[in-house]
């Protein structure tokens, strides 16, 4: 016995693919690597191919995928991008709260408008996501009535599990962050490691949730009319995501230009001192106004990168929807 479990590599692929090619694929791995570990390059190739196969199954990529599946899958990709925006948007809102305290009155107009645009975009996005859920709900309930809960039990369980893990991690981080504020200055690297771990957990939860939603939608068999409406909503969501992204970048740029000290660690600690008067050891909020600050704080860089990445996914999916929407049905 080699001890190397080659079968675990086929788990990167969707179940329909595994059923058709799984056994011979594992046989190929056994013959090629003969008990040795699969090299890193080949492992990454399997991860890439399996992920692509899953995306193809959802309808997100592939020219040969039917128009119905392409529009539904691409709408799910836009929904996934929206979910990323919600998560990082909440972090953004928390990070920049009280920004007005540190910006001169005559320089508040642009960031204020940008902040309001982001808030309105968030509300519009939530409405669009809600309408999309309501569109799918009757078909989903009908399916459950006909075939029972087993139709959705497994993906629902997966989504709940990762959702609860991500929520628990988030709650833990928030509690921990408040403790740090009260404890005063702390070394940066543990914060960054924990933040990175949180980010990975949340992104994994969003991916698994989207894949599960895709599984459910595929089993539900939506009407042509519903698919068209979902496609149109996804296109509207694309516009909202662009508006939110532009709002965030404008806010960041305006604040970096007019009140760079807002992004300095001193000011954030000072802000914390104002919020938590018990920690009076922190400097007054206003003693650091006029200092240089760092206009590329790591949190905003992560937020901006996550938003840009998901926006690109949404725009790709939107293009796919726009090119196929008329051919649905």
Partner 1 sequence: MTKADLAGLRRPNDPPLLILTSLAGGSKHGYALSKDIEAFAGIVLSPGALYGAITRLEERGLIEALEGDARRRPYRLTREGSDALAGALRELRRVTDVATSRLAVAGVLA
Report how far apart, in Å, the C-alpha atoms of 22 and of each of 37, 95, 244, 305 are. Answer: 18, 46, 43, 36
Residues 64-93 that bind partner 1 (CB under 8 A): 64
Sign of CA dihedral 90, 155, 312, 166: positive
Considering the rule CB under 8 A, would residue 36 count as an interface residue with partner 1? no
296 binds partner 1 per the rule CB under 8 A: no
Q: Which of 260, 288, 248 is nearest to 84 (CA)?
A: 248
> CB under 8 A: which stretch of 26-34, 89-97, 246-254, 283-291 binds partner 1?
26-34
Using the minimum distance from each CB to partner 1, give the nearer residue, 25 or 85: 25
Contacting residues for 3 by C-beta, under 8 A, at least 6 apart: 35
Q: Which of 4, 46, 253, 299 binds partner 1 (CB under 8 A)?
A: 46
Which tokens sit at 216?
């459910």
User: Nearest approach, Cβ of 323 to partner 1 (angstroms)?
Assistant: 15
- Check binding of 48 to partner 1 (CB under 8 A): yes
Q: Does 231 bind partner 1 (CB under 8 A)?
A: no
For partner 1, the closer of residues 70 and 78 by Cβ is 70
In this structure, what token pair is assigned to residue 43?
């492992």
The answer to whether 71 and 226 are in contact (CB under 8 A) is: no
41 binds partner 1 (CB under 8 A): yes
306: tokens are 């996550």
CB of residue 49 vs partner 1: minimum separation in angstroms?
3
When binding is defined by CB under 8 A, the residue of 2, 11, 19, 32 that contacts partner 1 is: 32
CB of 20 to partner 1, least distance (A): 8
Instruction: Confirm or reject binding of residue 1 to partner 1 (CB under 8 A).
Output: no
Question: What are phi and psi for residue 295, nearest 5 degrees?
Answer: -85, 5
CB 12 within 8 A of CB 51: yes
Q: Which residue in the set 4, 7, 52, 110 belongs to the binding site for partner 1 (CB under 8 A)?
A: 52
- For partner 1, the closer CB: 13 or 102: 13
- The reply to whether 320 sits near partner 1 by the rule CB under 8 A is no
- Euclidean distance between CA atoms 155 and 140, whole angstroms: 13
Q: Do residues 52 and 60 lie in contact, with contact meaning Cβ atoms separated by under 8 Å?
A: no
Considering the rule CB under 8 A, would residue 15 count as an interface residue with partner 1?
A: no
Q: How many CB atoms lie within 10 A of CB 280?
A: 8
Residues that bind partner 1 (CB under 8 A): 9, 17, 21, 23-29, 31-32, 38, 41-42, 45-50, 52-53, 63-64
């Amino acid at each position: 016995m080699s001890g190397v479990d080659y079968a675990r590599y086929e788990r990167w692929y969707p179940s329909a693919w595994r059923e058709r090619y799984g056994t011979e694929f594992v046989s190929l791995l056994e013959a090629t690597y003969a008990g040795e570990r699969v090299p890193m390059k080949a492992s990454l190739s399997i991860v890439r191919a399996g992920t692509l196969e899953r995306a193809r199954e959802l309808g997100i990529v592939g020219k040969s995928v039917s128009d119905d599946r392409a529009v539904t899958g691409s709408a799910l990709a836009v929904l996934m991008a929206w979910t990323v925006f919600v998560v990082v948007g909440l972090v953004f809102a928390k990070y920049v709260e009280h920004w007005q305290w540190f910006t001169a009155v005559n320089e508040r107009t642009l960031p204020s408008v940008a902040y309001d645009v982001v808030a309105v975009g968030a509300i519009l996005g939530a409405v669009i996501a809600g309408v999309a859920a309501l569109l799918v709900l009757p078909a989903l309930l009908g399916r459950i009535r006909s075939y029972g809960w087993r139709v959705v039990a497994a993906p629902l369980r997966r989504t709940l599990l990762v959702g609860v893990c991500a929520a628990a991690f988030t709650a833990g981080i928030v509690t921990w962050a408040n403790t740090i504020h009260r404890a005063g200055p702390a070394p940066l690297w543990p914060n960054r490691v924990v933040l990175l771990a949180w980010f990975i957990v949340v992104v994994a939860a969003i991916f698994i949730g989207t894949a599960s939603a895709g599984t459910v939608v595929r089993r539900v068999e939506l009407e042509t009319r519903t698919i068209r409406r979902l496609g149109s909503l996804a296109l509207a969501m694309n516009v909202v995501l662009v508006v939110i992204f532009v709002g965030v970048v404008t806010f960041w740029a305006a604040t970096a230009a007019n009140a760079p000290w807002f992004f300095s660690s001193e000011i954030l600690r000072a802000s914390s001192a104002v919020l938590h008067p018990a920690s009076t050891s922190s400097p007054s909020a206003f003693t650091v106004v006029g200092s240089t600050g760092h206009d590329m704080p790591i949190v905003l860089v992560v937020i901006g990168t996550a938003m840009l990445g998901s926006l690109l996914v949404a725009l790709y999916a939107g293009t796919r929807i726009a090119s196929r929407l008329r051919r649905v049905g």
